[in-house]
Amino acid sequence: MSVGIRSRVTVPLRFSDGYRTTAEVVTFEGLTDGKEHLALALGDVANADVPLVRPHSECLTGDVFGSERCDCGPQLREAVERIATAGGYLLYLRQEGRGIGLYAKLDAYALQDLGMDTYEANRALGHADDERDYTAAAQMLTALGVTSVDLLTNNPDKAAQLRALDVDVRSVLPTGVHASDANVRYLQAKVSHTAHTIDLPLAV
């Protein structure tokens, strides 16, 4: 089955800090993993020379409940405004917990409370450091008619996977640093284990 666009619907967005914008939410059919991923078209994407794109993995605890154990919620908020300004897409990917799922992520949290970092906890549970696959993201971009992107991410694996899937990544732009006392150890682990481009402050 070829990948295609299933539906488009306009959704007004409002964040807790009062920021508002409008997204065209796009759903798909035929994605390789069968999951219900979404693309949010933001800003004047039709006239963007090269769209700004962020593949954002679902994080219920951070995106919805405002958990401070990660930087996912602030990254999502930042990405929506930056993409709305530049014109592009936020790909909201159903890959909770770097692909291990919500319950396993919470099990990993319990191990982190015993002293492990986020990657050590994944391994102790029998998972890889990062189990995400961006094939569906590349398929979504193809269905949207996007061949070249400016990628908004701190994760070098996203750019590497998309390039291997024949997406032209013209440039990679980092997100801001959203460090706090609650998440700095988690961010440090992302830098040391998977070379995330997070310019951490010397003290938080």
Sign of CA dihedral 27, 28, 32, 35: positive
- The catalytically annotated residue of 132, 170, 181, 199 is 132
Our answer to whether residue 170 is catalytic in this structure is no
CB 55 within 8 A of CB 158: yes
- Bridge partners, 39 (sequence order): 26, 91
- Bridge partners, 55 (sequence order): 91
Burial class (CB in 10 A: 0-12, 13-18, 19+), 199: exposed
Our answer to whether residue 130 is catalytic in this structure is yes
CB 140 within 8 A of CB 8: no
Burial class (CB in 10 A: 0-12, 13-18, 19+), 40: buried
- The catalytically annotated residue of 130, 157, 166, 185 is 130
Which residues are known catalytic residues? 130, 132
